[in-house]
Amino acid sequence: MDDFDFLAGTWDVVNRRLVKPLSGSDEWDEFPGRSVATRHFDGAASFDEITFPTKGRHGLTVRVYHPGTRQWSIYWGSSASGTLDTRPMVGGFTGDRGEFHGEETHEGRPVRCRFVWTVIGADRARWEQAFSADEGETWETNWTMDFTRTS
C-alpha cells in the first residue's frame, strides 16, 4: 500500500502533451510544472497538487488504496474545469511500474484511458497517459510528465 511513497516531496515537471489526440497528429506542446505530493493514511493515500505556470491553471490528484483488492483508485481535479473526476483510474504496481485503466471522454466520445507510472530512481519518475479508441487494441500516448525531485 505504500506504492506512491516515492512521490512525496516537491518536483519539477516537464510536460509534453499531444495537441490533437487521436487525430494522427504528432504536434506536441511542452510546458513546465511544479508538483508537491504528500502521503496519508500510513501510505494508503497520496495527494498532489501541480501548478502549470505558463498555462495559468492547477491540477490535483487523489489516490486511495483499497486493501481488499490491493488496487489504487486515482482521481484527477482541474482548476480549468472546476471538477473532480468521478470515474477513477484503477490499477496497481508491479515493482517500479504501475499501470492504471479507466474510461475517459474525448471530444464527446468514450475512450479507454491508461496511466503508466515508472519510478526511475529516488529523484526521477515518469507518468504517461494514453488513449485507445478501439477498446485497448492500440494505444496512443498523449501526455507525458517527467518528474525531477527538487532539493
Range of the domain at 41: 3-19+27-149
What integer pLDDT is reported at residue 67 of this predicted model? Answer: 95
> pTM of the prediction?
0.94
46, 35 Cβ separation under 8 angstroms: no
- pLDDT above 80 for 33: yes
Structural contact between residues 10 and 35, judged by C-beta atoms closer than 8 angstroms: yes
CATH number for 40: 2.40.128.20
Q: How many structural domains are present in the chain?
A: 1
**Residue by residue, what is the 3-state secondary structure of 74-138?**
EEEEECCCCEECCCCEEEEEECCEEEEEEEEEECCEEEEEEEEEEEEECCEEEEEEEEECCCCCC
| The pLDDT of residue 85 | 86
What percentage of the chain has pLDDT greater than the value 70? 100
The type of residue at 55 is K
d(CA 52, CA 32) in angstroms, rounded, equals 6
Q: What are phi and psi of 7, to 5 degrees?
A: -85, -15
Q: What is the pLDDT of residues 53-79, one digit of tens each?
A: 999 999 999 999 999 999 999 999 999
Answer yes or no: is pLDDT of 132 > 90: yes
- Name the residue with cell 497517459: 129
